Amino acid sequence: MRHLLLNIVSVIAALAFFTACNTTREGSDGGNVLVRIGNSTLTLTELRDAVPQGTPEEDSVRLAQNYIQRWIDTHLITDIVAPQIPDMDEINRLTEQYRLSLIEDAYRARMYNKKGEYNIPEDTLKAYYEASKDYLKLKSPIVKGVFLKFADNSEQLKDARRLFKSERQDDIDKLEKLAYDGAVYYEYFRDRWIDWQKMLAVIPSDFGNEPLSYPGNHKSTDLSADGFTYLLYITDYKAAGTQIPYEYAREQIRDAILYDRQKEYDAALRKQLREDAIEDGKLVIY
């Protein structure tokens, strides 16, 4: 163990030296061997590549030490102890199966990316929405509005209370300036839908034990808790179970169309590969 620790210290010292230099002389093995376990070797080149360039010296030493220890721990098992495991054949089979799956996925993704069908016309998205209305229902309420959080002693709080429910554009602009000057948290979402659950997560209230129906019955909220004041004004609201607005469902629809297209492309690609391989004599089915 003492010998191992001395080796680790020398490796770290070597890493620090080579990190400070632009070049290093490498052996015929493509790098200076630092640790050897069975048939596996850890080289200085590998270790240096594992530590990002420009890392401060203290952090470099720590990263190198962790990398070396992980490498040793891993190879002590894979190179020394693994032959003692009775089901290694099954592990090797699963490993090969996983490797082939990664190769297959990488090839299919590469071919589909080359096809470049990521831009879906707006009319296609809207047509999908119209055809799927019966299934596109909200699982939780969504709202539009404005939300602010101020310290109770904030100088901007008085004016914010006066402005946060206003629909006038100049008042909205003034409120935004107040928010940037003194708000702890500010979110303007009058122009987009957000999940009501997001508001539940940032406002410390049980909303009268009716959290999901609260935004349908209360347009504005002004409450103080633990030294902070929370201002919420809701300009629009959709209850759970109602139709999802198109603009809120748009990205979900886009993802669904892309998923369907990729499935269709994968099926066509597999069919074409089989046909080509049979024609070339590379695939023979007995």
pLDDT at 24: 42
pLDDT at 26: 45
Quick: pLDDT tens for 245-283: 999 999 999 999 988 988 888 899 889 989 988 988 888
**Within 13 Å and on the Cβ side, how many CA atoms surround 208?**
9
Q: Could you tell me which residues come within 8 angstroms of residue 133 by beta carbon, excluding any fewer than 6 positions away?
A: 243
pLDDT at 22: 43
Catalogue the long-range contacts made by 207-215 (C-beta closer than 8 Å, 24 or more residues apart). 212/140, 212/141, 212/240, 213/141, 213/239, 215/141, 215/143
Beta bridge partners of 236: 144
Extract the tokens encoding 83: 């032959």
Nearest to 45 by CA among 61, 26, 63: 26
- Percent of the chain at pLDDT > 70 equals 88
Extract the tokens encoding 250: 């748009």
Extract the tokens encoding 245: 């607005």
pLDDT at 8: 55
Beta bridge partners of 149: 185, 230
Q: What is the DSSP string of 210-240?
A: -TTTHHHH-SEEEEEETTEEEEEEEEEEE-T
Cβ atoms 179, 146 nearer than 8 A: no
Categorize the per-residue pLDDT at 3 as very low, low, confident or very high, splitting at 50, 70 and 90: low
Q: Does position 18 have pLDDT exceeding 90, yes or no?
A: no
Mean pLDDT of the chain: 85
Quick: pLDDT tens for 148-189: 999 999 999 999 999 999 999 999 999 999 999 899 999 999
Write down the H helix ranges in 88-156.
88-115, 122-131
Distances (CA, A) of 236 to 163, 233, 242: 18, 9, 14
Quick: pLDDT tens for 90-125: 888 989 999 999 998 898 888 888 776 678 899 999
Q: Is 0.85 topped by the overall pTM?
A: no
Categorize the per-residue pLDDT at 16 as very low, low, confident or very high, splitting at 50, 70 and 90: low
